[in-house]
Amino acid sequence: MTTDSAPRDPGAPFARAATRLRSALSKAESWPGMAAARPTLAAGIDGIDRARAGLSGSLWILLLGGTGVGKSTLLDALAGRDIAPASVKRPTTLRTTFYAHRDADLSPLGDVPPGAGELAAHDIEALREKVVIDPPDFDSAVDANRARLMPLLDAADLVIVVADGEKYRDEALHELLARYRGEKAFLFVMNKLDLGLPDAVREDFRAALEGAGFEEPRMLAVSAREAFEARVGGRDPGEGAGDLIELERIIAEELDRARIREIKAANLSGIAAHVVAAFDSGVGAGARERLSAWSGRCREIARGVSSRLGARFSRAVLGARGKPRADELRTYLHGLQMFSFGGVFGVYLALSERLRALLGRAWSRPVDAIEARALAEARVRSVDNDAVGLDIANASAAATAEFAASGLAVDAARSRLAPSRTGLCAGGAAREAARGASEALEDLTASGLGASRFNLRDLVYNLIPTLLLLAIPAYAGYSMVTHKVPFGRPADAGLLALALIVAVSYLQAALVRRAFARGSARALLDIEGRMSARLGAYVERGLVAPCDSLARDAGAALDDIDAARAEIGKS
């Protein structure tokens, strides 16, 4: 059994983080800040990949400073020969010098090929894994210099900031320090010690650095010129060269393989954190909250437009709320109930209803089930298409405007929520309303508005009329036995019984009609409810679902950013 486990690749979490960030960038359309910063963010991710690939490579040491502070002179002093042109002319360095071991692999510099500068090769074993770079300045009148410098600065692991007694507080320098602090290791060298470096100046520099967030900055003071002159004269740099020997010791000994790895790993974490922070600022503060608030607003907007559409169609089909139309539909619903009764009372109701219709007392012409449905559908078609179209367009515009108000990209919402894209339209809404009304009528017809053929209600209403009806033959029989005729004078009693049947039924019918009026009103509400439900589902599909999918995609970008953050946290 082996206890060995595969060596952990320190770059792996960063590779995964880069993948997630690329995926986030591909979903940037809803986040205006991210879309705008796309090139910078993409370059940032490339930077993570580059730094990750360079984890086991050479240490890139960059001399950073304004023009004339003595960067090239310092490199010449370290090399002990004249490899980087240094002069009183400002600026002097236009081409970068790479001071590197002859076996060094310079390819990780990627888009900064050594062709952009000179390679000064050496075979000093202690410097095998270190490349010292003397780049152009960042503050001279030659703008191209800064452009040449920046990719080198991006690639650098250790930045040796070179300053002199006059140039150490410049804004341009401190901007760069603020930008790269946390992403690189830093060492600060004050040059031109031979010209005198008052303690006050050193302390002022230290204070400026501490103010910029560098805790206990490591500072050295040298005279590059003295050191260079000593070296080319075959002497060791003496006291006049200041901390030059210490600087050489740091570069040659202190920066051993372990320390290089440590610096590179810390820098990689810093770079990745910086890129994630750039993504965060691309989506802005409270992104998830804004997104979910927007989703909530979409639902409100959808509810609003559903109820507007429901009101429009139900007004057309059923009349204004509270005072439904006394019309064929209502007559139909009333009739459904009227003809649902059985027994003697049912016969009375049917007859009286026909009579009322004949006498013109019914509300309107009776219609059958097919006609009733056709009527409802025709009324749906009478609704103004333009008004419905406007309701829909307004709702989609409102959802789009809310998206923008939540700090999201209006174009993304516009293209994903446009009715032409989601399929919401006046014709579709009318189809749903008509389907709802006709389904409701179908169900109401099938159920006879809830009245089954035989029930307690039938029994109660038929009780007295049936007893009275039975009383007539009973009395006729009795009369036959006693008077030998079925009725004779007592026929009056039979007539009385019939009259009673009619009277009782008449009273009962009045009660029943009132109950049926309520039943019809409920049935109208059923129709309205069914239309609203269908319209609601239609708007749900056509507005809420696209809003949700937009929010999901925008949220997926946030998930990717969070996942990248977690990966970096694991490293």
Ligand X SMILES: Nc1nc2c(ncn2[C@@H]2O[C@H](COP(=O)(O)OP(=O)(O)OP(=O)(O)O)[C@@H](O)[C@H]2O)c(=O)[nH]1
With CB under 6 A as the contact rule, the residue among 30, 58, 223, 400 that binds ligand X is 223
d(CA 268, CA 21): 15
Residue 163 Cβ vs Mg ion, minimum distance, rounded to whole Å: 14
CB of residue 548 vs ligand X: minimum separation in angstroms?
57
Tell me the residue length of the chain. Answer: 571
Asked if 93 is part of the footprint of Mg ion (rule: CB under 5 A), the reply reads yes
The reply to whether 71 sits near ligand X by the rule CB under 6 A is: yes
* Options 36-44, 70-78, 225-233, 539-547: segment touching Mg ion (CB under 5 A): 70-78
State which residue, 197 or 472, has the beta carbon closest to ligand X. 197
Task: Say whether residue 93 binds ligand X (CB under 6 A).
Answer: yes
Angle, in degrees to the nearest 10, between helices 369-381 and 287-318: 120
Is residue 27 within 8 A of residue 553, CB to CB? The reply is yes
User: Which part of the chain contacts ligand X (CB under 6 A), choosing from 84-92, 112-120, 372-380, 561-569?
Assistant: 84-92
Residue 396 contact, options ligand X, Mg ion, none, Cβ 5-8 Å cut-off depending on partner type: none
Q: How far apart are CA 45 and CA 409, in angstroms?
A: 23
Q: Could you tell which of Mg ion, ligand X, none binds residue 223, using a CB distance below 5 to 8 A set by kind?
A: ligand X
Confirm or reject binding of residue 97 to Mg ion (CB under 5 A): no
Judging by DSSP bridges, how do beta strands 158-163 and 185-190 pair with one another?
parallel
Out of 72, 295, 462, 508, the only residue in the binding site for ligand X (CB under 6 A) is: 72
Q: Binding to Mg ion by residue 92, rule CB under 5 A?
A: yes
Of 71 and 130, CB closest to Mg ion: 71
Quick check: 91 binds ligand X (CB under 6 A)?
Answer: yes
CA-to-CA dists, residue 200 to 171, 358, 367, angstroms: 20, 116, 105
CB of 405 to Mg ion, least distance (A): 53
Per-residue contact flags (x/-) with ligand X for residues 108 to 137, judged by CB under 6 A: ----------------------------xx
Among candidate residues 309, 291, 296, the one with its CA nearest the CA of residue 544: 296
Report the nearest approach of ligand X to the CB of residue 11 (Å).
Answer: 34
Kindly determine how many residues on this chain lie close enough to bind Mg ion according to the rule CB under 5 A.
4
When asked if residue 69 is in the footprint of ligand X (CB under 6 A), the reply is yes
Contacts of 99 (CB under 8 A, 6+ apart): 75, 78, 79, 83, 84, 120, 122, 131, 132, 133, 134
For 490-493, the CB contacts below 8 A with 24+ separation are none
The answer to the question of residue 224 lying near ligand X (CB under 6 A) is yes
Of 39-47, 67-75, 319-327, 389-397, which segment contacts Mg ion by CB under 5 A? 67-75
Using CB under 6 A as the binding rule, whether residue 86 contacts ligand X is answered as: yes
Write the CB contacts of 183 (distance below 8 Å, at least 6 apart in sequence).
Answer: 267, 270, 271, 274
User: Under rule CB under 6 A, how many of the chain's residues touch ligand X?
Assistant: 24
Q: How far apart are CA 68 and CA 225, in angstroms?
A: 12
Smaller CB distance to Mg ion: residue 93 or 532? 93
Q: Do 139 and 174 form a contact (C-beta atoms < 8 A)?
A: no
Where are the alpha helices (H) located in 32-190, listed in sequence order?
32-36, 38-53, 71-79, 143-155, 171-180
The smaller minimum CB distance to Mg ion, of residues 75 and 241, is found at 75
Interface of this chain with Mg ion, residues 71 to 90, rule: CB under 5 A: 71-72
When binding is defined by CB under 6 A, the residue of 20, 101, 184, 225 that contacts ligand X is 225
Q: Choose from Mg ion, ligand X, none: what does 334 bind? Cβ within 5-8 Å by kind.
A: none
Residue with Cβ nearer Mg ion (72 or 223): 72
The interface partner of residue 137, options being Mg ion, ligand X, none and the CB cut-off 5 to 8 Å by kind, is ligand X
Q: Does 81 bind ligand X (CB under 6 A)?
A: no
- Backbone phi and psi for residue 48, each to the nearest 5 degrees, phi listed first: -60, -45
Binding pattern for the stretch 179-218 against ligand X, x by CB under 6 A and - elsewhere: ------------xx-xx-----------------------
Least distance from C-beta 81 to ligand X, angstroms? 14
Helices 545-570 and 12-26: angle between axes, nearest 10 degrees? 160
Q: Which does 290 bind (CB under 5 to 8 A by kind): Mg ion, ligand X, none?
A: none
CB 187 within 8 A of CB 220: yes
Q: Does 462 bind ligand X (CB under 6 A)?
A: no
Q: Work out what residue 73 binds among ligand X, Mg ion, none; the CB cut-off runs from 5 to 8 Å by kind.
A: ligand X
- Is the CB of 71 or the CB of 312 nearer to Mg ion? 71
Between residues 64 and 413, which has the closer beta carbon with respect to ligand X? Answer: 64
Q: Which of 40, 87, 382, 385 binds ligand X (CB under 6 A)?
A: 87
Considering only the stretches 12-20, 88-96, 178-186, 523-531, report the one whose residues sit in contact with ligand X under the rule CB under 6 A: 88-96
Can you state the percent helix, strand and coil of the chain, rounding each to 5?
65, 5, 25
Least Å distance between CB 91 and ligand X? 3
- Residue in the block written with tokens 């439900």: 533
For residues 427 and 418, the answer to whether their CB atoms sit within 8 Å is no
* Minimum separation from the CB atom of position 128 to ligand X (A): 25
* Residues contacting residue 181 through CB under 8 Å, at least 6 positions apart: 212, 213, 214
Q: Judge whether 131 and 166 are in contact, CB under 8 Å.
A: no
What are the helix (H) ranges across 284-422?
287-318, 328-338, 343-358, 369-381, 385-405, 410-417, 419-422
If contact means CB under 5 to 8 A according to the sort of partner, which of ligand X, Mg ion, none does residue 191 touch? ligand X
Phi/psi of residue 133, nearest 5 degrees: -115, 125
How far from chain centre, in Å, is Cα 183?
30
Look up residue 314 and give its two tokens.
């139900």
**Taking phi first (over 0 means left), then psi (-120 to 50 degrees means alpha), and beta for anything else, what does residue 544 get?**
alpha
- Rank residues 156 and 271 by Cβ distance to Mg ion and give the closer one: 156
Tokens, residue 2:
């082996």
Contact positions toward Mg ion, by CB under 5 A?
71-72, 92-93
Contact positions toward ligand X, by CB under 6 A?
65, 67-73, 86-88, 90-93, 136-137, 191-192, 194-195, 223-225
